[in-house]
Amino acid sequence: WSETLRNITALQYLAMPRLPALAEVAWSPQSAREWESFRVRIAAHAPRWNYLGVNYYRSPQIPW
């Protein structure tokens, strides 16, 4: 199973913010993972992504 991505914009939309979330899980001990603080940290990436023109999924659960 796979997806057909026709351009970088589609790839960005599927990958962001999943990649930073994956990094959070991979590099943080389970005891340090906390949803509310993660929401704030992931939202802090939005200004940079907007500036760079990254097409990312704007989850309604994140205070963008």
Tell me which residue of 24, 62, 25 sits closest to 43, measured CA to CA: 62
Residue 2: the pLDDT is 83
pLDDT beyond 80 at 1: no
Rounded percentage of the chain residues whose pLDDT exceeds 90? 95
The average pLDDT across 56-62 equals 97
Residue 27: the pLDDT is 94
40 burial (CB, 10 Å; 0-12 / 13-18 / 19+) is: exposed
pLDDT beyond 80 at 38: yes
The chain-wide mean pLDDT, for the chain, equals 95
